[in-house]
């Protein structure tokens, strides 16, 4: 198949492209390189089945494809809050453009939505039926509400134009290739521990998240894309940890001498988050297989390698 991956040079997109290329599909990677990095897809650049398109999804584009994985959107609060109006445009105009493309060429489109549609949830764990508790005027709204309208657009294109949609609600995912300055908690703690600087726990660290290793997530996305259920379907690892626990695990694993310090909790930071993955188990026969400790080890190895290359390249 010819498969378009928007946001393909990013963290999740590049791992997905690895799988699609290995399955011998023709892959078009579309990215504006806001938080993506060419090094994530360098391995495919000269491959005859691979094409790299520098493009912003807020502008329309004409392509011939069979499937679209629509992942283009900054995912870290630091990056999506840097230019919140652009984040809204990416979610509204970008999703309209990709749904328009899917409609025109009759492609199936999988939308990368998020657990953030549940906001600061009052139901725990979160099933797909829960409508969420989202602040529509806060600093996270550009992303949370952006993804909610992206889901709305998918379902309206489905009902009005019979576009073949799939909607995945992705929970916190981590792994190799996260940017050093990504700003999300797993990469922050690992980078801080490797540098021997204090790990920054926001608030008292009692807020929870559930962390999914990226290879598991990609498997879930592909099963959803190629199955019959349109979703929305939660994809995440139900293993729930407090942020303080996560800091202690990474401290212990990487650098027991690194300190933990507390910084103010950002506005509207969700207090708890854990996916109910009954639907993914039932309809996609999917559940995560990589335990947190194993996934963290692989992620630490990747950061260590990148740091070693940098040090060798720059200083020696
Ligand atoms: P990422 O920031 O690494 O990747 C996003 C990619 O999209 C980057 O390559 C970026 O350059 C590109 N991009 C951003 N705006 C664009 C635009 N206007 N036009 C073209 N390209 C653009 O993030 P990620 O973690 O890989 O997330 C991928 C998708 O999955 C996002 O849609 C995100 O909202 C969703 N998601 C991720 C998580 C997670 O924990 N990683 C959780 C929930 C949802
Ligand atoms: N967090 C933290 N220290 C950091 C980065 C994040 O304590 O250096 C906290 C953040 O306040 C939140 C959790 O970790 O409670 C997850 O944050 P992240 O930005 O990774 O994802 P999200 O909040 O979007 O789930």
Q: What is the CATH number of the domain that holds 259?
A: 3.90.25.10
Dist. CA 194 → ligand 2 center (Å)? 18
172 CA closest ligand 1 atom index: 40
Those residues whose C-beta lies under 8 Å from the C-beta of residue 87, and which sit 6 or more positions away, are 73, 74, 80, 81, 142, 143, 146
Pocket test residue of 36, 41, 275 for ligand 1, highest count of atoms within 8 A of CB: 36
- Which residue, judged by its Cα, is nearest atom 21 of ligand 2? 184
* Domain shared by 191 and 222, yes or no: no
- Residue 218 belongs to domain spanning: 2-173+213-235
Q: Which residue has the tokens 């579309």?
A: 30
- State phi, psi for 7 to the nearest 5 degrees: 75, 25
Same domain? 83 vs 230: yes
Instruction: Say whether both 161 and 18 belong to one domain.
Output: yes
User: Ligand 2 pocket, 243 CB below 6 A?
Assistant: yes
Distance 249 CA to ligand 2 centre (A): 15
Same domain for 245 and 165, yes or no, is: no
Which is the catalytic residue, given 143, 157, 174, 213?
143
The SS3 of residue 221 is helix
Tokens 């993914």, residue? 280
What pLDDT, on the 0 to 100 scale, is given for residue 315? Answer: 37
252 in Cβ contact with 195 (< 8 Å): no
Ligand nearest, relative to CA of residue 88: 1
Q: For residue 313, what pLDDT is reported?
A: 47
Q: Is 84 in the pocket of ligand 2 (CB under 6 A)?
A: no
Instruction: Please list, in sequence order, all residues whose beta carbon lies within 8 angstroms of the beta carbon of residue 105, skipping any fewer than 6 positions away.
Output: 63, 64, 65
Spell out the residues 6+ positions from residue 160 whose beta carbon is closer than 8 angstroms to its own: none
Q: What pLDDT, on a 0 to 100 scale, did the predictor assign at position 311? A: 58
DSSP 122: S
Over the stretch 228-267, which tens digit does the pLDDT of each residue have? 999 999 999 999 999 999 999 999 999 999 999 999 999 9
Domain tally, the chain: 2
Q: Which helix (H) or strand (E) holds 66?
A: none
Candidate of 126, 209, 211 to mutate for ligand 2, largest count of ligand atoms within 8 Å of Cβ: 209
Q: What is the pLDDT of residue 312?
A: 54
Q: How far is CA 266 from CA 104, 263, 271, in A?
A: 42, 9, 11
Average pLDDT of adjacent 10-residue blocks, the chain of 316 residues: 98 98 98 97 98 98 98 98 98 98 98 98 98 98 98 98 98 97 97 97 98 98 98 98 98 97 98 98 98 98 89 45
Contacts of 123 (CB under 8 A, 6+ apart): 130
Is the overall model pTM greater than 0.75, yes or no?
yes
Closest ligand (CA of 147): 1
Asked whether residue 282 is domain-assigned, the answer is no
Same domain, 115 and 185: no
The runs of H, that is alpha helices, within 106-256 are 141-161, 185-195, 214-226, 243-254
Q: Is the CB of 202 under 6 A from ligand 2?
A: yes
- Contact status, residue 103 vs residue 161, Cβ threshold 8 Å: yes
CATH number at residue 15: 3.40.50.720
Plot region of 87 (φ>0 → left; ψ -120 to 50 → alpha; else → beta):
alpha
Instruction: Judge if the beta carbon of residue 40 lies within 6 A of ligand 1.
Output: no
Residue 111 CB burial class (10 angstroms; 0-12, 13-18, ≥19): buried
Q: Is 69 a catalytic residue?
A: no
The answer to whether the CB of 185 is under 6 A from ligand 2 is yes
Flag whether 115 is in a domain: yes
Q: CB neighbours of 166 closer than 8 A, spacing ≥ 6?
A: 108, 109, 110, 111, 224, 225, 229, 230, 231
Whether the CB of 172 sits within 6 Å of ligand 1: yes
7 CA to middle of ligand 1, Å?
Answer: 6
């Amino acid at each position: 198949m010819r498969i378009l991956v928007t946001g393909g040079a990013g963290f999740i997109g590049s791992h997905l492209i690895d799988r699609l290329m290995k399955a011998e599909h023709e892959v078009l990677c579309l990215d504006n390189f806001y938080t993506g990095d060419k090094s994530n897809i360098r391995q495919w650049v000269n491959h005859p089945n691979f094409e790299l398109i520098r493009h912003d999804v807020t502008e329309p584009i004409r392509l011939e494809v069979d499937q679209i994985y629509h992942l283009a959107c900054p995912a870290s609060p630091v990056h999506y809050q840097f230019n919140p109006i652009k984040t809204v445009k990416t979610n509204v105009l970008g999703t309209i453009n990709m749904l328009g493309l899917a409609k025109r060429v009759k492609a199936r489109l999988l939308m990368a939505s998020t657990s953030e549609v549940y906001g600061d949830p009052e139901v725990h764990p979160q099933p797909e039926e829960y409508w969420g508790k989202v602040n529509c005027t806060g600093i996270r709204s550009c992303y949370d509400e952006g993804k909610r309208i992206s889901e709305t657009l998918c379902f309206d294109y489905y009902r009005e134009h019979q576009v073949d949609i799939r909607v995945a609600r992705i929970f916190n995912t981590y792994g190799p290739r996260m940017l050093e300055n990504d700003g999300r908690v797993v990469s922050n703690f690992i980078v801080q521990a490797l540098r021997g600087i204090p790990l920054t726990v926001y608030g008292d660290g009692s807020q929870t998240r559930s962390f999914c290793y990226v290879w598991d997530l990609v498997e879930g996305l592909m099963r959803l894309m190629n199955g019959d259920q349109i979703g929305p379907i939660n994809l995440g690892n139900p293993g729930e940890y407090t942020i303080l626990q996560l800091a202690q695990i990474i401290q212990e694993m990487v650098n027991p001498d690194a300190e933990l310090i507390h910084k103010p909790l950002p506005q509207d930071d969700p207090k708890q988050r854990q996916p109910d993955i009954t639907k993914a188990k039932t309809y996609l026969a999917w559940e995560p297989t990589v335990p947190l400790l194993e996934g963290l080890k692989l992620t630490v190895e990747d950061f260590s390698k990148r740091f070693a290359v940098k040090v060798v390249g720059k200083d020696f």
